[in-house]
Each structure stands twice: as structure tokens, then as C-alpha cells.
Amino acid sequence: MPDGISAPVTPAELPALRRRVQAALIATQILGGLGIAIGFALAAVLARDVSGTEALSGLASTASVAGSALLAMPLATLMARRGRRAGLVLAYLLGALGAGVVVLGAVLGNFPVLLVGLVGFGAGSSANLAARFAAADLAEPDRRARAISTVVWATTIGAVLGPNVAAPAGKSVSGLGIPAAAGPFVWAAGVFVLAAAVVAVLLRPDPLLTARALDAGPGEAAEGRSLRAGMDAVRKSPRARLALVTIAGSHTAMVSIMSMTPVALTHHGADIQLIGLVISGHIAGMYAFSPLMGWLSDRLGRLAVIGLAVGLIGAAALVAGTAGPSHGRTALGLFVLGLGWSAGLVSGSALLTDSVPQAARAAVQGLSDFVMNTAAGVGGLAAGLIVSQAGYGPLNAIAACLLLPMAALALRGTLRKA
């Protein structure tokens, strides 16, 4: 399709089109969330087993997040020209390929190969994250946060089920010479392929191309959709910069704490099933209450919900970081951490979309995912080192400090608005 222009859609057709797009994205998010959660539940444990040292276990999340970061800008460039469908299909297929390489690395006992596979596996996360912006493409401005949150919520079904499927997935490969902790990645590969097929078939017409055609028409300059234009749009908008800090800060704090929680739990005698339950509760907090966060963002404003995110993540770090051998307190802390992440992601994503012109949105959104995943990758790497040297409690305290820039910018924005 030349220059990424979609066929015209009349205003009367928009409500039905919004419903079709949302239904397709919901189905995709369920599958994508399942694939991500199945694999990620035991990623740190698998990395520890293959590497032979706990200090490198944090590299599992780092590699996966690095894959999401590396793909963010090429994915944004592809979507800016060809639409959401082309980008999402490619990302899910790369995620499936990465999961296969993870299994190969586990079978060979080769840690570098395992990390390469986890980098590719991170493409599945890129797809699921990018889908939230697809939900906003055709949404009315005063319902944009709710549109984002509905698609984020759909991830709940697959994401909560995923960690609990990890144990049977591991058992399913026991006779194939594949380590049990790598079994979930076998299943994840198949789920990602199915998600790619759903996007290819059902996400028609493409929401980004349709929104662009409605907003600017076929005469819109392609230069306005470049990465440079997106970066310029962020530089010109303090609210866009606040949105970027919110998304990156919330995600980095969450990944840093969550990635090392399975390792911390094993120190206190937790088995795979209990770890799965704790991570399931965390993921429920991340996704199940996102419609509430979307409603609050639309009704009370983006800044109020950013403040809520700061409070929730700070409380989660306090509870989890002081839990010690109490599995119940750890589970509570992880649940609240998920709520804080949801508040930050939904409000930040809506604010980012609000704050930049239509032509630059795909580039800015890709920049946002790149920044957030790069920061979280560094956080995941540091998390393993911090836990190995100082412990899980200090990790939570350091993660809470990441909230300070986010809180300061949100307070400044509130004072300016007042």
C-alpha cells in the first residue's frame, strides 16, 4: 500500500470499525499474554540453571527486554509506513522464533544461545505493548485511556493462566530431552504463531492507516511520520516528556522487582507451583484492573493517575522488600506492584498519545517503547547483581527511587495546570 494510506472510512462506519478492531486486538492480547507469561514465569530460574550462577539470572529479563527495545524503533518505522498489522505480525513471528532458540540453548546447555533466544522472545512483548496504541488509533479523545485499558485488560486472561501452565508445559517435554524449565517456551512458540495469524486475518482495515486517512487525508507528508519528527514532537511537549518518564519509570521498577521475585522465593523454600501463583497474582494486578485505571485517567485526568502509580509502586516496594520469608506478603507486594504498573502504563500511554500530532504518533510511540524497554533492560541486569550482592530488600528500595523523577515531573505538571 503506497505511503501507508488506508481506504476512506465514513464517520457513520466508525463505531462498527472501532468494535471490530477492539475485538481483534482483544483476541490477540489474550494469546500474546499467554505466550509471554508461559515463558517468562521460569525465565530467571532457567537462566540460573543453564549459567550455573544466580548472579546471571537477571540476564533473562534483561535479554528479553533488550529484544523488545531493539525491535521498538524498527517496528515503529514499519508501522508508520505499513500500519499496525504488518508490525504486529512480524513481532509475534520473531517472538516464536526466539522461543525456539531458547529451547535450543537449554538443550545444549549453552547460555549465550539461551540469551540470543530470549532477545528474540522479547519481540512478543513488543507486539503486545504496541497493541495498546493500536487501540487508541481510532478512539475518541475523551475515551482514549479506556480504549487503551480495555486492550491491556484482555491480556489478563492469558497472562494469569500462563504461569500456572508453566508446570504442565515443563512436564510435557520430559521425554524429549528438554529441561522442564524450557518446556514453557515450546508452548509459547506455538501461541505466538497463532497470535500472528489472528492479527493477519482479523485486524482489517488497519486502524493506524485508517486514523491517518481520516485525520489528514492522502496529502499528508511522509516526512511528518519519521523518527526525527517524533523526537522533535517530544522535545516540544513537556507533557510528552512526562509521559515517557512515567512509562519508563513504572516499567523499569516493575521489571526489576518482578524478575527477581522467583529467585527470592526459592531462597525461602517456594516451589514452582507457588512461584506460579505469586506471579499470576502480580499479572492480575497488572492487567485485570486496567479498565479502572483507564476510567480514572479519562475522568480525573492523566496526572492524577500518574500520582496514583507513584504511590502504588512505592507501597509495593515497601511490602515486598520487607516480606522476608512471608510468601503471603511477597504475593501482596507483587499484586500492588502490578496495580502501580497498570496505572503508570495506561495514564502515560494516553498522555503520550494526547500530547503529539497524529502524524508523529507512531514514531513517538515506538520511541516510548524503546526508552522503556532499554531502561528496564538495564534494570533487570542490575537487579540480578543487586540481589546477589545485597539481597532482595535493597533491590526494592533502589527500585522505589526510580519513582522520584516521575513524581517530580507530575507535581510540576499539576502546579502548572493549577
Q: 282 with 312: CB under 8 angstroms?
A: no
- Is the residue at 1 inside a domain? no
Biggest alpha carbon–alpha carbon distance for the chain: 65
- Is the residue at 336 inside a domain? yes
- What is the sign of the dihedral through the CA atoms of 45, 46, 49 and 50? negative
Task: Give me the residues of the chain with pLDDT under 50, please.
Answer: 1-7, 217-219
Domain that holds residue 147: 9-217+225-417
- Is the residue at 328 inside a domain? yes
CATH number of the structural domain spanning residue 136: 1.20.1250.20
Provide the pLDDT for residue 102.
Answer: 92
Provide the pLDDT for residue 4.
Answer: 43
- Is the residue at 4 inside a domain? no
pLDDT digits (tens, 9 = 90+) for 176-213: 888 888 888 999 999 999 999 999 999 988 998 888 88
Q: 239 with 378: CB under 8 angstroms?
A: no
- Is the residue at 375 inside a domain? yes
CA distances from 378 to 43, 111, 125, 375 (A): 17, 19, 17, 5
Identify the residue whose cell numbers are 495546570.
417
- Is the residue at 107 inside a domain? yes
CA distance 335 to 314: 13
Number of domains in the chain: 1
CA distance 233 to 240: 8
Provide the pLDDT for residue 345.
Answer: 94
Amino acid letter for position 292: L
- Is the residue at 87 inside a domain? yes
Provide the pLDDT for residue 300.
Answer: 93
Phi, psi of 221 (to 5 degrees): -75, 135
CA distance 166 to 180: 9
pLDDT digits (tens, 9 = 90+) for 42-72: 777 788 888 887 777 767 877 887 888 888 8
- What is the sign of the dihedral through the CA atoms of 383, 166, 32 and 291? negative
Provide the pLDDT for residue 331.
Answer: 93
pTM: 0.79
Provide the pLDDT for residue 8.
Answer: 65
- Is the residue at 2 inside a domain? no
- Cell numbers at 343, concatenated: 496505572
Closest of 333, 323, 320, 305 to residue 406, by C-alpha: 305
Residue 52 CB-density burial (10 A; 0-12 exposed, 13-18 middle, 19+ buried): exposed
Closest of 186, 164, 166 to residue 177, by C-alpha: 186
CA distances from 311 to 145, 243, 265, 277 (A): 20, 17, 25, 24
- Cell numbers at 240, concatenated: 510528552
Provide the pLDDT for residue 157.
Answer: 83
pLDDT digits (tens, 9 = 90+) for 281-319: 888 898 889 999 999 999 999 999 999 999 999 999 999
* 205: preceding bond cis by omega (within 30 degrees): yes
Provide the pLDDT for residue 6.
Answer: 46
